[in-house]
Amino acid sequence: MLKLENIAKDFGGLRVLNGVSFEISEGQIFGLIGPNGAGKTTVFNIISGLLKPSSGRIIFNKSDITNQPPHVVTEQGISRTFQNIRVFEDMSLLENILVGMHRLFSYSSVSMFFDLPKKKKEEKQLREKAMDILSIVHLTEKADLKAGGLSYGEQRKLELARALATEPKLLLIDEPAAGMNPAETEELMNEIKLINKNGYTICLIEHDMKVIMGICGYVAVMNFGEIIAEGSPEEIRKEKLVIEAYLGKDEKSA
């Protein structure tokens, strides 16, 4: 479904990604792990079009999306969430979702001044759909509240829901469990599994090994801008390089 071919990225003279290649197949929950600074988020930024790779190609469903601007990548069916939360705080939860559904609206802005039945019907459908999406992350009761008032964990979930609203085929999730307590993490894992069951392919960056081992079907490990190992979670766990990268020489583990 998504294929990275030899992606490299230099910031000034510094090489942060060096020949990164991997492939995500449809229906997978793909885990991308590695110590801080390994280049995971840079990979996400390159896939989603925020950064341009210095070399290499990104193929998504047989089309080349290397160097496409973010909104085109989204149109192609890739959506993402951020490590640091970026919900629209001044908007309600429902509005946050509706913004994500931007390209699904068809009626023109002029028609808002007239109560056309077609518009009303479409608006109702979109609102219902937005509520459905909110229900996946259990936030329907708060639909009309401002997003800025949500708790940290709830904002993360809202962000996930908003990414879903763009109707992606592939969802990139950057450290969803960061800052969540164990109970919230547990709930989040179930929600991600549910999203995956609903037909979305997922690529996940995560530090929490419990999350990775619990839900990922396939894992790639990065260190110093390179993929150092990949395989099933069980295989990865035994891999010597991975243990070294994580446990290092007397450094604190992730």
Scan residues 120-179 and list those touching other proteins (CB under 8 A): 162-163, 165-166
When asked if residue 88 is in the footprint of other proteins (CB under 8 A), the reply is yes
Nearest CA among 246, 192, 227, 187 for reference residue 39: 227
185 binds other proteins (CB under 8 A): no
Q: Does 74 bind other proteins (CB under 8 A)?
A: yes
Residue 69 binding other proteins, by CB under 8 A: yes
Burial class (CB in 10 A: 0-12, 13-18, 19+), 217: middle
If we measure between CA atoms, which residue out of 96, 153, 157, 156 comes closest to residue 130?
96
100 binds other proteins (CB under 8 A): yes
Interface with other proteins, residue 52, by CB under 8 A:
no
What CA–CA distance (Å, rounded) separates 166 from 102? 8
Nearest approach, Cβ of residue 186 and other proteins (Å): 27
Which residue in the block uniquely carries the two structure tokens 């991308």? 32
Please select the residue that binds other proteins; options are 95, 132, 186, 187, rule is CB under 8 A: 95
* Distance, CA of 180 to CA of 157 (rounded, Å): 11
Q: Which two three-digit tokens encode residue 120?
A: 């009303």
Closer residue to other proteins (CB): 87 or 236: 87
Q: Which residues bind other proteins (CB under 8 A)?
A: 48-50, 69-71, 74-75, 79-80, 82, 86, 88-91, 95, 98-100, 102-103, 105, 107, 109, 112, 162-163, 165-166
